[in-house]
């Protein structure tokens, strides 16, 4: 089977590498080439080039992320000769647009501000209590989210982001708590629970969600989820693929929807690789054919951790959480961050 993945994101390269583990498939990807013989790097810059490539190479599945072929989705889908998956949150949303979408639909989210100029951003910081979370609106800044624990550090980061060419930046009040990530999978007709994790500042994730109280999970399921799914319908929020709903559970048990993730975060993808007991490729094909069902989604009961180790994401899997922690420390993960996360979650 020939698969084409078009994107310049870290997660698209991770997906390309993972699918290339099946030596019976050929994975064409715009990501940088690696050691897999059946991972073929390609350079495609226009819809015409992509269409010609699909036709010439008998591609059976195309996967695109929302940083590519913008504004041509529907037209391209109608013309494509093979099943196409677009991993985007409905409309090529930026981070700021996602936050505005959540706020507009009256779903509880931490206080935030979106800024196009330095002065108003610095004023927001002066009127806030540190720490403050700072991020670029798009992917100009590869460092992700920055937590400024002083106003001087916040000022320095804001100035650097604008100097780097970011047109907008997002500032958000910091709320201490647990990041609870709930992933959904849909074939465009039916929506199913996929998997869930908890994470610590996007540094590491684990699939042991027992740190979340049962009544909190119940409230998310029965109160938050209907409102979120209804807001998707009311706003023509197309959903065929995988998205992550990133909740924040404060130390006071307050629930916030923090953001919506296209596909799967880098650390959570490491968990997905280690715990999914069926072929991800087949699930992706079922999504395009509207042939998905809950009984096709099978995970093992291993404890898994995904972590960012000096800019590279890796994952481990073990029978117990303690053993998984030992393995990720052997891999070189910062033990201090791990201890801080576990201490916070065990409150």
**What is the tens place of the pLDDT at every residue in 267-299?**
999 999 999 999 999 999 999 888 899 999 999
Can you give the CATH number for the domain in which 151 is found?
3.30.1490.20
Q: φ, ψ for residue 157 (rounded to 5)?
A: -65, -45
Q: List CB contacts of 165: < 8 A, sequence separation 6 or more.
A: 140
161 and 185 part of one domain: no
Per-residue model confidence (pLDDT) at position 77: 61
Q: How far apart are CA 147 and CA 154, in angstroms?
A: 8
Same-domain status, 232 and 302: yes
Domain count, the chain: 3
If asked whether residues 146 and 205 sit together in one domain, one would say no
199: left (phi over 0), alpha (psi -120 to 50) or beta: beta
Which tokens in the block code for residue 335?
């033990």
pTM of the model: 0.90
Q: By the 8 A CB rule, do 195 and 207 touch?
A: yes
* Averaged pLDDT for residues 304-318: 93
Domain presence at residue 297: yes
Does 46 share its domain with 66?
yes
> What span, in angstroms and rounded, lies between the C-alpha atoms of 326 and 314?
14
pLDDT of residue 143: 55
The predicted model gives 228-237 an average pLDDT of: 85
Q: Are residues 222 and 252 in the same domain?
A: yes
Cα gap 78→47, rounded to integer Å: 13
In this predicted structure, the answer to whether residue 92 has a pLDDT above a threshold of 50 is no
Q: Mind spelling out the 3-state secondary structure of 191-214?
A: EEEEEEEEEECCCEEECCHHHCCH
Q: For position 300, what pLDDT does the model report? A: 97
Closest to 6 (Cα-Cα) out of 34, 27, 35: 27
In a domain, 255, yes or no: yes
Q: Which of 25, 54, 87 is the last residue of a domain?
A: 87
CA quadruple 334, 340, 344, 347: dihedral, nearest 10: 120
Residues 192 and 62 both lie in one domain: no
CATH of residue 227's domain is 3.30.470.20
253/250 Cα distance (integer angstroms): 5
Residue 146 burial (CB count, 10 A): 19
Q: Within this chain, do residues 303 and 196 fall inside the same structural domain, yes or no?
A: yes
In this structure, the answer to whether residues 196 and 336 fall within a common structural domain is yes
d(CA 287, CA 292) in angstroms, rounded, equals 6
Domain that includes residue 334, residue range? 177-345
Same-domain check for residues 185 and 284: yes
Which CA distances in Å does 86 have to 210, 243, 256, 262, 284?
Answer: 32, 11, 27, 10, 11
Whether the bond into 131 is cis, omega within 30 of 0: yes
Q: How confident is the model at residue 94 (pLDDT cuts 50, 70, 90)?
A: confident
81 assigned to some structural domain: yes
Domain presence at residue 141:
yes
* 27 shares its domain with 72: yes
Residue 103: inside a domain: no
Q: What is the pLDDT of residues 117-144, one digit of tens each?
A: 999 999 999 999 999 999 887 654 455 6
Q: Would you say residue 337 lies in a domain? A: yes
Residues 6+ away with beta carbon under 8 Å from 169: 114, 115, 121, 134, 135, 136, 137, 158, 161, 162
Lowest mean pLDDT among 62-71, 145-154, 321-330, 331-340: 62-71
Neighbours of 239 (CB within 10 A): 18
Indicate whether 93 belongs to any domain: no
Q: Is there a contact between 199 and 267 (Cβ–Cβ < 8 Å)?
A: yes
Residue 60 and residue 77 in one domain: yes
Number of separate helices (H) and strands (E) present in the chain: 12, 16
Of 173, 188, 223, which one is at a domain's C-terminal end? 173
Q: What CATH number is associated with residue 21? A: 3.40.50.20
In contact, 6 and 68? CB cutoff 8 Å: yes
* Residue pLDDT, tens place only, 26-65: 999 988 767 788 999 999 888 888 888 999 999 999 998 7
By three-state DSSP, how is residue 178 classified? strand
Residues 232 and 289 occupy one common structural domain: yes
Give tens-digit pLDDT for 161-204. Answer: 999 888 899 999 999 999 999 999 998 888 999 999 999 987 89
User: Which residue, of 52, 87, 122, is where some domain finishes?
Assistant: 87
Is the residue at 330 inside a domain? yes
């Amino acid at each position: 089977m020939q698969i084409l993945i078009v994107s310049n994101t870290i997660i698209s390269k991770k997906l390309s590498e993972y699918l290339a583990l099946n030596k019976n498939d050929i994975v064409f990807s715009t990501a940088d080439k690696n050691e897999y013989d059946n991972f073929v790097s390609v350079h495609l810059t226009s819809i015409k080039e992509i269409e010609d490539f699909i036709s010439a190479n008998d591609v059976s599945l195309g996967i695109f992320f929302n940083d590519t072929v913008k504004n041509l989705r529907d037209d391209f889908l109608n013309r494509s000769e093979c099943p196409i998956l677009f991993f985007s949150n409905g409309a090529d949303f930026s981070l700021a647009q996602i936050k505005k979408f959540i706020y507009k639909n009256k779903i509880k989210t931490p206080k935030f501000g979106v800024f196009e100029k330095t002065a108003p951003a610095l004023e927001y910081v002066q009127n806030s209590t540190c720490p403050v979370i700072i991020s670029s609106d798009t992917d100009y800044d590869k460092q992700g989210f920055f937590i400024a624990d002083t106003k001087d550090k916040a000022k320095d980061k804001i100035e650097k982001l604008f100097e780097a060419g970011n047109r907008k930046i997002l500032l958000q009040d910091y709320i201490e708590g647990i990041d609870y990530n709930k992933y959904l999978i849909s074939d465009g007709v039916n929506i199913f629970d996929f998997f869930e994790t908890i994470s610590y500042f996007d540094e590491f994730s684990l699939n042991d969600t027992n740190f979340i109280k049962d009544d909190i999970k119940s409230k998310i399921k029965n109160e938050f989820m209907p409102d979120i799914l209804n807001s998707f319908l009311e706003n023509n929020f197309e959903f065929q693929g995988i998205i992550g709903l990133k909740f924040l559970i404060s130390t006071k048990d307050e629930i916030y929807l923090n953001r919506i993730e296209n596909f799967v975060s880098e650390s959570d993808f490491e968990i997905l690789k280690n715990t999914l007991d069926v072929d991800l490729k087949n699930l992706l094909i079922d999504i395009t054919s509207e042939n998905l069902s809950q009984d096709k989604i099978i995970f093992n009961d291993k404890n898994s951790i995904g972590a960012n180790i000096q800019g590279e994401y890796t994952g481990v899997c073990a029978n117990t959480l303690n053993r998984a922690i030992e393995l990720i420390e052997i891999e070189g993960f910062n033990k201090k961050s791990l201890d801080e996360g576990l201490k916070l979650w065990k409150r």
